[in-house]
Structure 1
Amino acid sequence: MFLNPMRQFKHAKYLAWIAVLSATSVFAQTANFGKISLAPGFEPGTAIATGSTGGYFSLPSIANRDRHNNFCLGYSGNQTPDHILTLERDFPKLRLQVDSRGTPTTLVVRGPSGTVRCGNTSLEDTDWKAGNYSVWVGAKNEGVQSDYTLSVRE
């Protein structure tokens, strides 16, 4: 049986696009240092994660400004988020705090609807909708590396 080479190419092209889209959705759900899942009323000491930050990937390339028109600053090791924060329900207010033992750090958080929030060492904001949030902890200065602890409070 003879198969038309153009038709085979067309099908291969579609399969390639499916593979790219599948890889993109998997990539979007991965994190360098893990995930944090929260529901309202969580204990403050339970929403803690650790990691290491610093590098040459410019966090303003993710978002230059946040939803409040604040500049997003800092440098990370790569474009993959450091953490995925999953909110099981809406939160009226959350505070993210980074303890990097004195090294100046920044935060960039991109929400499920593409909303971006930025801060230096800490970030407090209102109206957090349920869903997955990508969290980058950056060093304020390029190339500086530091270990950190990230905590989340209501």
Structure 2
Amino acid sequence: MTDQELQLLVEEVSNQYFQIPFIHKASFNPRLRTTGGRYLLNSHNIEINRKYLDQLGLEELIGIIKHELCHYHLHINKRGYQHKDADFKNLLKSVGGPRFCSSLPRENNSSKPKKVLIYKCKSCNQVYLRRKKVDTKKYVCGKCRGKLVLEETRNN
């Protein structure tokens, strides 16, 4: 789906469910990571996360569009457009939009092994497992205050 097709879909959803035209711009924003979409207060534009269309389908996308259009129409009409406002909750319920979008399936990061650094105390042989490097000039053993030495690095 292109930005132009998204624009037409948002206009169609606005006319069908709200009976009010959407006269601003709707587009995909590839930088969105943790949300399905957002309504921009200053420009009145709507940005949508393309991953929700790709991974969860058109029905989920329409739900996100309804949610963002609730923010849009309420803000334009100077009514309570925030999630906590009764106007927002009532309008969202009347058009059948979701309060929150579904979670995206987690991306499998198992292809990248995690590095583990193993530090050992020279005095008491206490072992410390760390993901990040430790400055051995600055930090000492928590048990005996002895000197730490990097023993090995493993990829798990």
Q: Mark yes or no: TM-score above 0.5.
A: no
Tell me the TM-score normalised to structure 1 length.
0.27
Greater Cα radius of gyration, structure 1 or 2 = 2
Answer 1 or 2: which has greater helix percent. Answer: 2
Q: Which has the higher contact order (CA 8 A, sep 6+)?
A: 1
Tell me the TM-score normalised to structure 2 length.
0.27
